[in-house]
């Protein structure tokens, strides 16, 4: 390991004792994400291995090293640091998405979301701690940080909460009966409502029924997106169409409400004259 020219360094700054499970999860999560990233579209994907470099009071440092014969100045060595630098930047972008209300990283699986949560679990549960990740290059005996990021306890808790929301939303989307149908508002309510309760909004979905029915938000992300269109965007919401995934709540075989799971797109509806 001493001859490695480039690697990913993960550092946990925690003053309190840490559970072994949290410690292991923080490091294996980044290894799993790196290997996932490296397999994506790579002709010769290379797995990485994890080394715990040092454990001192208040600090744990680990290195994630690609399993390559990294010789100084070699093509393999240059390729490795580029790959590692790109990974750290992309990983930062994904995790940072969950620092914003309603933020969601696109095209992620449940396993990946699980890794995101486990990545920050240790510092989320230990106030005053920090997690840092860096792409490191050793050149001429000098250590250089090519890319890096850092999260504190408050940020880690935000990431955990929003990742958990995203996982629940994926469960709802997969269980939706109607995918990518056009929904149009006939009545709106500017107030946020509890998930799973009628919102005060009325919508029509011509593909299902010509009647206006109450809308229920089954996803926080869907509610945030729609309420933004209702309360913030200057355009008339009644002249917009929402392409959504939803379930139909029924009574005696008849539709009585729509539960919206996911919003794919918001489009402008043609004027009546244009439609004619």
Q: What is the pLDDT of residue 155?
A: 96
Instruction: Report which of 72, 2, 67 is spatially closest to residue 38, judged by C-alpha positions.
Output: 67
Instruction: Report which of 146, 44, 29, 181 is spatially closest to residue 94, judged by C-alpha positions.
Output: 29
Q: What is the pLDDT of residue 147?
A: 92
Q: What is the pLDDT of residue 275?
A: 46
The tens place of each residue's pLDDT in the chain, 276 residues long, gives 444 578 889 899 988 777 778 878 888 898 888 888 877 655 445 555 666 666 666 788 888 876 544 444 444 545 667 788 899 999 999 999 999 888 888 888 888 999 999 999 989 988 999 999 999 988 888 888 999 999 999 999 999 999 988 887 776 655 558 889 999 999 998 888 787 888 999 999 999 988 999 999 988 888 888 999 999 988 999 999 999 999 998 877 788 899 998 899 999 998 764 444
Structural domains in the chain, CATH included, are: 6-173 (no CATH), 175-275 (2.40.50)
Distances (CA, A) of 261 to 176, 181, 219, 227, 246: 7, 12, 5, 14, 5
Instruction: Report which of 129, 99, 109 is spatially closest to residue 33, judged by C-alpha positions.
Output: 109
User: DSSP string spanning 107-168?
Assistant: S--HHHHHHHHHHHHHHHTSTT-EEEEEEEEEETTEEEEEEEEEEEHHHHHHHHHHHHHHHH
Query: Which 8-state DSSP code applies to residue 237?
Result: G
Judge whether 156 and 123 are in contact, CB under 8 Å.
yes
Judge whether 51 and 65 are in contact, CB under 8 Å.
yes
Burial class for 99, CB neighbours closer than 10 Å (0-12, 13-18, 19+): middle
Question: What values do phi and psi take at 65, rounded to 5?
Answer: -115, 125
Please give the Cα distance from 18 to 2 (Å, whole number): 27
Please give the Cα distance from 141 to 139 (Å, whole number): 5
Q: What is the pLDDT of residue 61?
A: 85
């Amino acid at each position: 390991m001493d001859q490695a020219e480039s690697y990913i360094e993960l550092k946990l700054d925690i003053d309190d004792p840490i559970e072994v499970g949290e410690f292991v999860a923080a490091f294996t999560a980044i290894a799993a994400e790196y290997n996932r990233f490296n397999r994506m579209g790579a002709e010769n994907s290379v797995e990485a291995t994890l080394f715990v470099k040092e454990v001192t009071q208040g600090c744990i440092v680990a290195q994630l090293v690609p399993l390559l014969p990294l010789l100084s100045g070699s093509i393999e060595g240059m390729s490795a640091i580029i790959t590692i630098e790109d990974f750290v930047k992309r990983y930062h972008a994904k995790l940072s998405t969950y620092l914003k209300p309603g933020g969601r990283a696109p095209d992620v699986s449940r396993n990946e979301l699980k890794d995101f949560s486990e990545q920050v679990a240790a510092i989320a549960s230990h106030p005053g701690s920090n997690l840092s990740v860096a792409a490191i290059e050793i050149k001429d005996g000098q250590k250089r940080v090519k890319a890096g990021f850092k999260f504190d306890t408050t940020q880690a808790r935000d990431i955990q909460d929003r990742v958990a929301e995203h996982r629940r939303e994926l469960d709802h989307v997969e269980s939706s009966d109607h995918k990518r149908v056009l929904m149009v508002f006939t009545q709106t309510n500017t107030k946020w409502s509890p998930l799973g309760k009628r919102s005060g909004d009325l919508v029509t979905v011509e593909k299902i029924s010509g009647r206006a029915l109450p809308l229920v938000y089954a996803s926080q992300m869907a509610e945030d997106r729609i309420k933004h269109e209702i309360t913030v965007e200057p355009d008339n919401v009644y002249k917009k169409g929402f392409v959504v995934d939803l379930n139909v709540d029924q009574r005696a075989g008849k539709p009585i409400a729509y539960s919206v799971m996911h919003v794919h797109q918001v489009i402008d509806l043609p004027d009546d004259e244009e439609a004619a």
